[in-house]
Amino acid sequence: MFDKMSRAIMLSIAENETVRRLTTKYGMADENSFARRFIAGETLEEGIESTKKLNEEGLTATLDLLGENVTKIEESHAARDVFLNILDQIQKTKVDSNISMKLTQLGLDLGNDICIENVSKVIEKAKSFDNFVRIDMEGSDYTQNTLDVFKHLYEKYPENTGIVLQSYLYRTEFDVRDMNNLGARVRLCKGAYREPEIVAFQNKKMVDLNYTRCAELLITEGNYPGIATHDEAIIDHIKAFVEEKSISKDKFEFQMLYGIRRDLQDQLVKEGYNMRIYVPFGTEWFPYYSRRLGERIGNVLFILKNMYRESTDGKDTI
């Protein structure tokens, strides 16, 4: 109950209109602005630069052009073209990165056909470079459709595309088994959206239990899963689990978000685990940033403090 309430409060603050207005105004204003903690920058060059630095420290990346829920076909084409360019730049600069994309950014709200056409072009190019496209998972209204589109694409490009599943959804253990049967690569996360009780666990303990159960299934029966979490207890559990089952460290990878638990990222690399960082960039960063705020009370307090300082300096009002 407390989990549900505190998360709802944090998400409400994060979604508040004044918070949105002031955050977008000040969050990326200069190189020290507060949103840069979670966002690599507004340009692809900044995304590539951050990826280079991560690579130098032994971490791989997945580059994400921020954006979601486009309403015009031209916007979906523009996003597709940026993703094609990201793949070109990864190839050209030789950074070690794949890409992550949201289907609503590629036109899912305009129809599956439009979306499939856009995403196919991107995966086709990824294939030509022997690279990989991860399809992020969005809110539960999109879960089934995202999986339907993914399965369609997976039939044609099994080596070059993978999906994300969220342990807060009741259905996820079923989806994990389904993806394991297909041999599809899965990134497992807890889930970042505000979901109703009818589809999702509301209690952290249940989300975490479902996470470890699904992660074990993916590691033992799946295809090179991405264990995407910053939760140290879960990470310790997975480390003990693979040790006990004599599963080699190259059978899976840990994944974390840019700017979160950098200490733990480095420690896992030193211990010999594969570690991939999700590197978001672009001008449409507020919804992503707002979800990060909603995950931790400290983040909300941090931003309120920063905004108060910036707004009183700049004579704005909260």
Ligand X SMILES: Cc1cc2nc3c(=O)[nH]c(=O)nc-3n(C[C@H](O)[C@H](O)[C@H](O)COP(=O)(O)OP(=O)(O)OC[C@H]3O[C@@H](n4cnc5c(N)ncnc54)[C@H](O)[C@@H]3O)c2cc1C
Catalytic positions are 136, 187
Residue from 90, 299, 303, 310 binding ligand X (CB under 6 A): 299
Distances 46 to 89, 181, 226 between C-alpha atoms, Å: 12, 38, 24
Is residue 175 near ligand X by the rule CB under 6 A? no
**Cβ-based nearer residue to ligand X, 125 or 190:** 190
Do 105 and 135 form a contact (C-beta atoms < 8 A)? no
Question: How far apart are alpha carbons 64 and 296 in whole angstroms?
Answer: 22
Residue partners of 88: CB distance under 8 A and separation at least 6: 125
Q: How many CA atoms lie within 13 A of 114 on its CB side?
A: 19
Shortest distance (Å) from residue 116 CB to ligand X: 19
Q: How many residues bind ligand X (CB under 6 A)?
A: 24
Question: How far apart are alpha carbons 134 and 195 in whole angstroms?
Answer: 22
Is residue 268 near ligand X by the rule CB under 6 A? no
- Name the strand (E) or helix (H) holding 271: none
The DSSP line for 250-265 is GG-EEEEETTS-HHHH
Closest CA to 80 of 119, 129, 116, 123: 119
Bridge-based pairing of strands 97-101 and 133-135 is parallel
Shortest distance (Å) from residue 229 CB to ligand X: 3
Is residue 50 near ligand X by the rule CB under 6 A? no
Of 26-34, 74-82, 217-225, 293-301, the segment contacting ligand X by CB under 6 A is 293-301
Residue from 41, 162, 191, 282 binding ligand X (CB under 6 A): 191
Stretch 115-134 residues interacting with ligand X (CB under 6 A)? none
Residue from 230, 249, 251, 262 binding ligand X (CB under 6 A): 230
Question: How far apart are alpha carbons 168 and 171 in whole angstroms?
Answer: 9
Shortest distance (Å) from residue 70 CB to ligand X: 17
Residue from 34, 54, 292, 310 binding ligand X (CB under 6 A): 292
Residue 226: phi and psi, rounded to 5, are -100, 115
Residue from 75, 109, 216, 231 binding ligand X (CB under 6 A): 231
Shortest distance (Å) from residue 189 CB to ligand X: 3
Is residue 278 near ligand X by the rule CB under 6 A? yes
Residue from 140, 143, 160, 166 binding ligand X (CB under 6 A): 166
Residue from 44, 164, 235, 279 binding ligand X (CB under 6 A): 164
Distances 2 to 117, 197, 214 between C-alpha atoms, Å: 44, 14, 25
Is residue 36 near ligand X by the rule CB under 6 A? no
Shortest distance (Å) from residue 64 CB to ligand X: 9
Stretch 195-224 residues interacting with ligand X (CB under 6 A)? none
Residue from 68, 136, 195, 310 binding ligand X (CB under 6 A): 136
Do 218 and 183 form a contact (C-beta atoms < 8 A)? no
Shortest distance (Å) from residue 187 CB to ligand X: 6
Bridge-based pairing of strands 97-101 and 275-281 is unpaired
Query: Which residues of this chain interact with ligand X, rule CB under 6 A?
Result: 136-137, 164, 166, 187, 189-193, 228-231, 255-257, 260-261, 278, 292, 295-296, 299
